[in-house]
Each structure stands twice: as C-alpha cells, then as structure tokens.
Amino acid sequence: MFNFLKELLTPSAEPTTVQSILLIAAAIAGGVLLGRLKIARVGLGAAGVLFVGLLLGHFQYTLHLETMHLVRDFGLILFVYAIGLQVGPSFFTSLKKEGMVMNGIAVATVAVSFLLAWLIMRNSGTSAEHMAGIMTGAVTNTPSMGAAKNVLKEIAGTQQGRSFGDPANGYAITYPFGALGGILMILLFQRLFRVDLQREQHLFDAKRAKEYPHPASVKCRVTNEAAFGKTLVEVLGTELMKEVIVTRLKCSGTTKVLTPSAGTVLQERDVLMLVGLPQDLEEAVQRMGRPSTDTFITSDEEIETRDITVTRSKAAQQTLAQLNFDAQYGVKVTRVFRAAIEMVANPELVIHVGDTVRVVGPKTQLNEAEKVLGNSPRRLSEPELATIFLGIMLGIVLGSIPLIIPGLPVPVKIGIAAGPLIVAIFISRYGGLAHLHSFMNQSAAWFMRDFGICLFFAAVGINAGKTLYQNFMANSGWWWLLYGVIITLVPAIFLMITARLVFKINFLQIAGMMGGTYTSPPTLAFCNSYFKGDVPAQAYATVFPLVTIARILAAQLFILLFMR
C-alpha cells in the first residue's frame, strides 16, 4: 500500500520529475529552517539550503542531470535579476563622488582575493577549478561560483573525455567562515579604531546634508521694489524658475490663495510658498523680498497638497515638462519620491511607474491630475511579468556574447549571472521597456530573489553532495578551509585599512562596503541590526553590482588562465 511512498522518498539513480521536484522542495524547506537558526545574531540565511542539499546528496539523493542544470541556472538568473531591479535606481547616482572611491576600493579588494588564490594554488598544488570554488566560497559570492561552473562546462565541450573538479565542493567548505569572517572583521576593527558609532552617524548625517541637501519649503513676502509689477519669470529668471517651484500665492490684503504661473504678476506684500534646494530658495527670496511667517497661505480650504503614486504607463517615461500639469490643470508638482530618494520636481525629470509625486493645487484640479497619473497602488501589487521575462531574455543574450581573448582556450562571456544583472540595473534605472514598466514592490522582489537563490543552492548542493566527503578527504579539506580563511581575512584587512586610513571613509559605510564587497547577505543583516540605521545598506548597494560583475569575471578568468 505504501510502496509509492518508498519510491518517492528513497534515493534513485534515475529519478523521475516528481521525485526531483520533491527533493528540491525538501532541500529548500529544510534549508530555510536551518538558515533561521542564529548564533550571536548571525545565521546562514538562504545558504542553509546549500548545506541541506549537500547532506541529501551525501546520502545518494540525485537530480536528473538536465533538471539540475535547468533549476540551477534559472534560479541564479532569477536571483541576480531581482538584485538588479532592487539596486538599479540608486546605482548610477552612487557612482558619483564618494561612490567612485568606494567602488574602486571594492574592485581592488577583488583583485587582492584573485592574487591570493593564485599564490595559494601555485604553492599548494590545488587545481584551478577547486581553487576557484575556494575563492568564491571564501567571499560568499554565489554568481561567481555559477560562472565558474559554466565556463568549465564550455571547456568540457571542447575537451571530450577529460574530467574536472567541481567548484561547488570548495565553495561549500569555505562558505561558512566567509559569511562569518566579514562580521568578525567589522567588530575587530571597531575595537581597534575605537569607533564611536553615534559620532560616526552624526558625521555622516552632517556630510550627507551638505552634499545632498533635501528639498525644503519657505514662505516669502514680496518687499523688494524691483519685483513690484513684474512676472515671476522676470523676477526669478528662466534658470532659477527650473530649480524653484512656486506652489502658492496669497495676494496682499486678502486671504485668497491661488496656484501661480510663470506669468503671474507680483504685487507689493504678496506672499508666496516656494519649494526647492536651500541655496536656490535663498537666492529666490533675496530677489523678491524676505522670509514670511504668514499662516493664511497654508490654511486655504481650496488648496491642498496631495501625494499621488504613478501607476499609469501612459504617464510614465515622460518629463514633467511634457506632462505640463501647471498649464493643463493649474497644479504644481513640487517633489518626486523614488526608491526612498526625494528629488526636486525639475522640468527635465523623467517620471517612472512607482514614483510618488507631490502635487499642490485646487482639490478639483488635483482630482484631474490624479486621473492622469493613476494613483492605483493595487495595480503595483502585480509585477509586470512581460518586462521581467523580456529583461531576462536580453540578459541571457548579453551574457552569451563571446569575447575572444588571445591565449585563452575558449571565449570569455560575462555569463548568465552578470548579463541579467546588468540588464536589470538599466531597466530599473530607466523605468522599463517601452511602455512596459519595471516597478516591482519589495515583497515581490524579495520573493523572486530568495526563490531564485534557494533553487540554485538546492541544485548545487544536491549535485555536489555526492562527492563532497570524498573530495574533502582526498584533497585535505582542512587545508582548503585554511586557504578560505586566508582569502576571507586578508582582503578584508586591505579594505578596512585603505578605506579608513587612506580615504577617511565613515566606519558605518565601511561596514556596508564589507558586506557588499563580499556580497554577503548575513553581513548586511548583521549591520542592519547592529548599527540601527540605513547607512551600511546604502554602502552595500553602492558596491554590490560592480563587485558582483568583477567577481564573475574573476572566477572565469581564474579557470581559463590557470587550469592545467
């Protein structure tokens, strides 16, 4: 009666599709539960799936080869694509000023890891494929391990009959300390540098406020005789009118409030509400008069401020000048919020689906503007699947383009990890493909990211588990573990010293850089709980995309250059 259970649950040399699905589900379920266990606030997270998969593989559970390849590669693509969508909106902004320095240090740290792995391989006799796995596990970079396996597959196609080591074995051995090492180095350097976390937060806030001031609002009374009887555009000038938005005007001697246009004529003692960056507001107030404390300008019942979410594709990917709300509806767009970034509503600013637009004007006119923008959050709860899979298609094509480098046995490809990552970054930055938006709410993005990495870890773990013990014993696994510790710690020391002592970067940012450079979700989770702020997460997102691409290329080049 229960023979069907025996067939489903016992290992099989030729597993059916149903058995494979059941095995993957078991690895993911058990691994997620294992990942939730924490010691000193540190857990394995999704990497728990890898270790449960290794255990199942050790007990001779297997996946059909083609099924394993499909689950592994598709899971990796989903993971990196979701990451690209999440970090894309802020990635290009982060490349300015300090972000360039941070990315330079991070990429230099990747080079240090590469050099260390080469030196260890040269002096220990470890094969290039195993050392590539040790290197990727020591820095907890899953996409680069996937890239290493893919390039080995390419080489195997040109060298029939030759067997290769599995990078997943070295990856599995060195990954646990790789996840822990970054956290240990953060705590150690905090002690060595005697870092006062509150002071670091204060210094960061002061510097950020100076470099990236938030839009502000101010009330201004017209007292400058040079402004009497002139239009707004005549007083402020065309360039300043682009930077300062005049949202309300109360005529002198009345309580009537209206939304002015560029051609509105100013009279003595009129009161205006201005929105813009502090330095621009100061100049505008000087041209018109002085700051005001008038309360009537914000109390008029006919004028209100409303936050509207852009959910209509027809309104997206247009500039505010093209939408022309001022002329068409008599309302003013004052600010735009995107990915937690607050921006002044400059006429050249392009609107994306998912943006929140702050609009000021008469209630009836605001209702008309709302119809244009959509303001239907429910629509955003449904991801635009067409954009996702078109983006994945473009990413696979990009990752498959062969780059011929003289002296290498096969062409270099950025691969199915870096290709979709790059495409996702650009799609999220520019709002989508044609009229297909790229917005994805956080819950959907987290699901896509975690589901993808769990599929990847399950397939890799089950496949590698069959030979992990034999490889550990045959290749002196304790030595592999030591090599991994060296590759984890030495580059981390280089990063900390360079960032802190040479470039004087804030310690909170260095902690985030550590997580991003090691592409380590456990390190990021630790920083989020330990530092009680979003500064480490911002630094993590700043270096993560470029480092991921660098590590993917480094893993491929390591095998192509050094494999005997």
Assess whether pLDDT exceeds 90 at residue 106. Answer: yes
Give domain limits for the chain: 75-206+382-562, 213-379
Summarize pLDDT for 213-248 with one digit per residue, the tens: 677 789 999 999 999 999 999 999 988 988 888 888
Question: What would the two tokens of residue 206 be?
Answer: 């002061």
Q: Give the per-residue pLDDT at 310.
A: 83
Q: Give the per-residue pLDDT at 299.
A: 66
Assess whether pLDDT exceeds 90 at residue 490. Answer: yes
Residue 109 pLDDT class (50, 70, 90 cuts): very high
Q: Give the per-residue pLDDT at 521.
A: 66
Between 104 and 534, where is the model more confident? Answer: 104
Fold annotation for 213-379: Alpha-Beta Plaits (3.30.70)
Q: How far apart are CA 378 and CA 358, in angstroms?
A: 19
Assess whether pLDDT exceeds 90 at residue 1. Answer: no
Is 147 buried (19+), middle (13-18) or exposed (0-12) by CB count in 10 A? buried
Separation of CA 57 from chain center: 33
Q: How far apart are CA 252 and CA 249, in angstroms?
A: 9
Summarize pLDDT for 394-428 with one digit per residue, the tens: 998 988 888 777 766 667 777 777 788 888 888 87
Summarize pLDDT for 295-324 with one digit per residue, the tens: 777 765 566 788 888 878 777 778 888 888
Between 464 and 282, where is the model more confident? Answer: 282
DSSP three-state, residue 289: strand
Residues of the chain with pLDDT > 90, as a percent, come to: 19
N-term to C-term CA, the chain: 54
User: Phi and psi dihedrals of 114, rounded to 5?
Assistant: -60, -45
Of 542, 483, 485, 480, nearest to 508 by C-alpha is: 542
Assess whether pLDDT exceeds 60 at residue 15. Answer: yes
CA dihedral 430, 424, 181, 560 (to 10 degrees): -130
Residue 161 pLDDT class (50, 70, 90 cuts): low
Q: How far apart are CA 134 and CA 140, in angstroms?
A: 10
Lowest mean pLDDT among 76-85, 141-150, 339-348: 339-348
Average pLDDT over residues 429-447: 73
Residue 98 pLDDT class (50, 70, 90 cuts): confident
Residue 465 pLDDT class (50, 70, 90 cuts): confident
Assess whether pLDDT exceeds 70 at residue 525. Answer: no
